[in-house]
Amino acid sequence: MRIPRTAALASAAAVAVGVLTGCSAGGGESILDRETLTIGVKADQPGLGLRRSDGEFVGFDVDVARYVAGKLGFSDQEIRFTETPSNVREQVLEQRRVDMVVASYSITASRKTKVTFAGPYYVAHQDTLVRAGDSAVRNVRDLANRRLCKVTGSNSWRRVTEERGVPARLVETTTYSDCVDRLIRGEVDAVSTDDLILAGFAAQRGNAVKIINAPISDEKYGIGLHKGDLDGCEAINRALTEMYQDGTAARLLDKWFGRTTLRTTDSVPQFEGCS
């Protein structure tokens, strides 16, 4: 790329034009111009974003956010994590209460009308969790006539029973954590949702459960930004590319999900493109 020609520029004009264009770019628009960074994460998702009893947030999402923030030039002291529940993610970005959201936030075309998405930093898949000793369930079709956990307010079960028409028997409960406990106790036979979420629970429960690695969807986990922050979005995409190139992504995936039977992908995902 060539830089704007300066040869013809009167020295007096140079100074003043610099000031002029600087103004028109509009300060504070991009997260790159921020002094500190407020990052929205989940607080109740083991392996992804979990608030520990000492108030610190831990998980894959948190580590990814920290890496990206570091690449954008923010020190650990300059970033602050805050809980961002799923139903307010668009709202907090719009009102600039949070600078970026890294909270197992799937990129969809309708969300893209309100949020600028960097990434995805990982493509999760809907998959199935069964008891470690269960070798009868190898793909989603095998869930026919088995007890499948249905979490109130979640749509994951629909992919099995409605979209694929697999006649599983639904057992309703309130949280995925409860689903996994029931699975271990033998009260349900399978839990179906994003594999990273399943792996997060599985890692907590040792070897009692396993993921069958038969994905039935792509969930593009993106980093949400205030709509229109293209500079920030492109900078984050570069950081994510480097995260995969320098081996950090593989290390983090292993750190959080390596103990489970989940097969993770350690090459860079296809980005959505900043818009």
> C-beta of 12: minimal distance to other proteins in Å?
4
Nearest-approach distance from CB 143 to other proteins, in angstroms: 12
End-to-end C-alpha distance for the chain, whole angstroms: 22
Instruction: Judge contact between 250 and 122, C-beta under 8 A.
Output: no
Nearer to other proteins, 53 or 87 (CB): 87
CA distance 22 to 12: 16
Closest CA to 174 of 143, 149, 195: 149
How many Å apart are CA 93 and CA 141, to the nearest integer? 39
Which of 81, 157, 257, 271 binds other proteins (CB under 8 A)? It is 271
Task: Look up residue 189 and give its two tokens.
Answer: 């036979």
Q: Vertex 121, ends 262 and 257: CA angle to 5°?
A: 25
Binders in 160-219 for other proteins, by CB under 8 A: 162-164, 214-218
In the bound state with other proteins, the residue whose beta carbon lies nearer, of 82 and 217, is: 217
Question: What are the residues facing 220 on neighbouring strands?
Answer: 123
Among 29, 230, 255, 261, binds other proteins (CB under 8 A): 230
Minimum gap (Å) between residue 20 Cβ and other proteins: 5
Check residue 136 for interaction with other proteins (CB under 8 A). no
Which residues make up the interface to other proteins (CB under 8 A)? 1-2, 4-13, 15-17, 20-21, 24-25, 108-110, 112-113, 139-141, 158-159, 162-164, 214-218, 230-231, 234, 237-238, 241-242, 245, 265, 267-271, 273-274
